[in-house]
Amino acid sequence: MVITICIGSSCHLKGSRSIIQGLEKKIRENELCSQIELNGSFCTGECENGVCVKIDDELFSVSPETVDTFFENEVLRRVR
Ligand code: FES
C-alpha cells in the first residue's frame, strides 16, 4: 500500500508534516513498515480541503487532529 501525503504549500500550512510524523508513528507501532510506503507529493489541486492524503489512488482529507482516526479507519482496515 502506498500512502501519499501532499506537501504543497497549502497542505504544509495545514500540518502535513505532523500528519507524516503521526502516520510514521502508527506504522511503527503496528509493525507495518514492510507493507506501507509513505510518499510525498506536490499540490494535487485539492487545497480547499484539509491535507490531501491518498491511499493508492483514493483521496482523503486529513488534519493533524484526525490522523489517528484516519489510520485506524482507513489504513488498518485495508491492511488487515
Ligand atoms: S497544497 Fe496540497 S492539495 Fe494543494
Q: What is the CATH number of the domain that holds 45?
A: 3.40.30.10
Q: Does 6 contact ligand 1 (Cβ within 6 A)?
A: yes
For residue 75, the surrounding DSSP H or E stretch is none
Query: Residue 59 CA to chain centroid, in angstroms?
Result: 10
**Spatial distance between the Cα atoms of 3 and 45, rounded to a whole number of angstroms:** 17
- Give pLDDT, residue 36: 98
Mutate to test the pocket of ligand 1, among 17, 44, 60 (most ligand atoms within 8 A of CB): 44
pLDDT in tens, 28-58: 999 999 999 999 999 999 999 999 999 999 9
Residue-number span of the structural domain to which 26 is assigned: 2-79
- How many domains, the chain? 1
Query: Are 7 and 55 within 8 A, CB to CB?
Result: no
Atom of ligand 1 nearest to the CA of 46: 3
Q: Does 19 contact ligand 1 (Cβ within 6 A)?
A: no
Name the band, by pLDDT with cuts 50, 70 and 90, for residue 62.
Answer: very high
Question: What is the gyration radius of the CA atoms in the chain, in angstroms?
Answer: 11
